[in-house]
């Protein structure tokens, strides 16, 4: 195994809302947005580590924080032995030369009146490398290397196509001869035929110059194509990391499995492939779920000890519970729909909501518990309704926060191997857990 070039340890980047002076004076609660929530991994010399995840999972914030373009709120990053967040002066300069970053649109932050040559050589100018003549020569060489031509050096960004602009952005990242490049969605704005050109270029340059890449993307096919190892992110955390082949052929985390299954294949058999879509949306990082952050959508949600329902039933009940807890069900409106503004016929209310929430029969005991909860809801007592369901259907996944154990291919899921402290916490939780009788309180 090669040595790590970059080691990220428990990196954390929170943003705070309601944090103005006025908010503090009025006592508004400071709200944390946990963009990156305790992430640890390493990037090994010469490899490409792919980071995938959906929008809002924190992958871009991770890149920016890691490169110290944003200040972290916790954790550390070590680059070739140096603590990045403690560097200053010449050491910081050295880091800025050895590590580069390229974004999806490298030009959005640049002056549109700069020529291709100026764009490429700007990092050299900032670091005072070479004379302006030498820098121009360097730009010409780089243009050739990235598949453009030296005589395009004086053109402006708008004269280039999207694919060519990405090549210029890449030439800029290469200009100062870095060892490590963070590529943040470098091909996602490109058409597929052009995307393939740029991917090939990235691969060629890596081989030629022994570069180490951190490749961030949402497109799983692209990540599989280019990466040696892959980290999967969800709500600011890494839920699984491992060698590319293993992640794609033998995914361990339910989210990774769902993600892989969701990708439509460009193949005539695609229509017959059954895709178990995961339901719902990604929760807000302002208010992530307790325990496992994937539990609100997880198709493998673990049942409490003593309960053994069909998975679909358990999930259906859990989702119903979430609707009640979130206040998604408007009791007044429901009474109106039942056509009973005087709220006399509680059973009609129960039937109507029960009917709508579950399209299948429930086992007797569950039927009873669910009805009991709805009765409380009909009386306008949301808290009791939620508590009734919570008592019987509390999953360990909401009590225990899974972690990423050591190893080549760990995953943060209670179904899989877990770090010792998590295992202990779970054992304690289960020992404390008392399976309640179904509908006990109504009997």
Site residues (CB under 8 A) for other proteins?
Answer: 54-55, 147-149, 151-152, 155, 159-161, 163-164, 191-197, 199-201, 203, 218, 220-222, 224-225, 244, 248, 258-268, 270-271, 275, 277-279, 281-282, 297, 323, 328-330, 333-334, 337
Q: Which does 25 bind (CB under 5 to 8 A by kind): other proteins, ligand SF4, none?
A: none
Rounded distance, CA 260 to CA 220, Å?
Answer: 7
Q: 74 near 52, Cβ under 8 Å? A: no
Which range binds ligand SF4 by CB under 6 A, 23-31, 324-332, 372-380, 409-417?
409-417
For residue 426, the tally of other CB atoms under 10 A from its CB is: 17
Rounded distance, CA 425 to CA 422, Å?
Answer: 5
Q: Which does 300 bind (CB under 5 to 8 A by kind): ligand SF4, other proteins, none?
A: ligand SF4
Q: How deeply is 256 buried, as exposed, middle or buried, from its count of CB atoms within 10 A (0-12, 13-18, 19+)?
A: buried
Cβ of residue 357: shortest distance to other proteins, in angstroms?
9
402: contact with ligand SF4 by CB under 6 A? yes
Rounded distance, CA 262 to CA 363, Å?
Answer: 31
415: contact with ligand SF4 by CB under 6 A? yes
Based on CB atoms, which residue is closest to ligand SF4, 106 or 254?
A: 254
Please write down the long-range contacts of 274-277, taking CB distance under 8 Å and 24 or more positions apart: none
Which residue, among 6, 4, 75, 5, has the nearest Cα to 36 in the 3D structure? 75
410: contact with ligand SF4 by CB under 6 A? no
For residue 322, the tally of other CB atoms under 10 A from its CB is: 17
Dihedral Cα 204, 207, 208, 209, nearest 10 deg: 120
Residue 351 sits at φ, ψ, to 5 deg, of -60, -45
414: contact with ligand SF4 by CB under 6 A? yes
Based on CB atoms, which residue is closest to other proteins, 1 or 333?
A: 333
Based on CB atoms, which residue is closest to ligand SF4, 244 or 256?
A: 256
Based on CB atoms, which residue is closest to other proteins, 5 or 226?
A: 226
Given 67, 205, 238, 292, the residue binding ligand SF4 (CB under 6 A): 292
Q: Tokens in use for 101?
A: 């970053």
Binding mask 251-270 for ligand SF4 (x = CB under 6 A): --xx----------------
* Interactions with ligand SF4, residue window 302-321 (CB under 6 A): 302
Q: 338 near 347, Cβ under 8 Å? A: no
Residues found near ligand SF4 in the complex (CB under 6 A):
253-254, 292, 294-295, 298, 300-302, 397, 402, 413-415
């Amino acid at each position: 195994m090669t040595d790590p070039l970059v080691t990220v340890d428990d990196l954390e980047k929170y943003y705070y809302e309601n944090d103005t002076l006025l908010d503090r004076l009025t006592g508004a609660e400071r709200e944390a947005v946990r963009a990156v929530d305790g992430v640890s991994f390493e990037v090994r010399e010469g490899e490409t580590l792919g980071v995938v995840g959906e929008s809002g999972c924190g992958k871009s914030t991770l890149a920016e924080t890691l490169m110290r373009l944003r200040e972290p709120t916790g954790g550390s990053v070590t680059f070739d032995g140096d603590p990045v967040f403690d560097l200053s002066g010449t050491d910081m300069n050295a880091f800025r030369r050895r590590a580069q970053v390229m974004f999806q649109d490298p030009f959005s932050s640049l002056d549109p009146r700069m020529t291709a040559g100026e764009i490429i050589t700007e990092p050299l100018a900032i670091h005072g490398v070479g004379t302006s003549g030498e820098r121009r020569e360097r730009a010409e060489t780089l243009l050739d290397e990235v598949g453009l031509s030296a005589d395009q050096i004086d053109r402006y960004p708008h004269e280039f196509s999207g694919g060519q602009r990405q090549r210029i952005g890449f030439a800029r990242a290469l200009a100062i001869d870095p060892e490590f490049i963070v590529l943040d969605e470098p091909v996602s704005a490109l058409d597929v035929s052009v995307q393939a050109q740029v991917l090939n270029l990235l691969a060629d340059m890596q081989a030629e110059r022994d570069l180490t890449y951190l490749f961030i993307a949402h497109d799983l096919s692209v990540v599989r194509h280019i990466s040696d190892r892959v980290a999967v992110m969800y709500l600011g955390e890494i839920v699984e990391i491992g060698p590319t082949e293993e992640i794609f052929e033998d995914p361990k985390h339910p989210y990774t499995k769902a993600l892989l299954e969701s990708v439509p294949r460009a193949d005539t058999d695609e229509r017959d492939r059954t895709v178990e879509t995961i339901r719902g949306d990604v929760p807000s990082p302002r208010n992530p779920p307790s325990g496992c952050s994937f539990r609100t959508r997880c198709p493998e949600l673990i049942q409490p000890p003593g309960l053994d329902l069909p998975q679909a039933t358990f999930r259906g009940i859990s989702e119903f519970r979430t609707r009640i807890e979130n206040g998604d069900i408007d009791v007044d409106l429901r009474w109106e729909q039942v056509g009973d503004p005087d709220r006399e016929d509680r059973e009609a209310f129960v039937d109507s909501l029960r009917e709508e929430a579950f399209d299948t029969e429930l086992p007797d005991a569950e039927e009873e518990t669910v009805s009991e909860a709805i009765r409380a809801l009909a009386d306008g007592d949301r808290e009791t309704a939620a508590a009734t369901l919570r008592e019987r259907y509390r999953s360990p996944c909401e009590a225990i926060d899974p972690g990423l154990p050591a190893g080549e291919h760990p995953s943060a899921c209670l179904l899989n191997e877990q770090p010792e402290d998590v295992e202990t916490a779970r054992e304690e939780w289960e020992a404390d857990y008392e399976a309640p009788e179904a509908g006990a309180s109504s009997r």
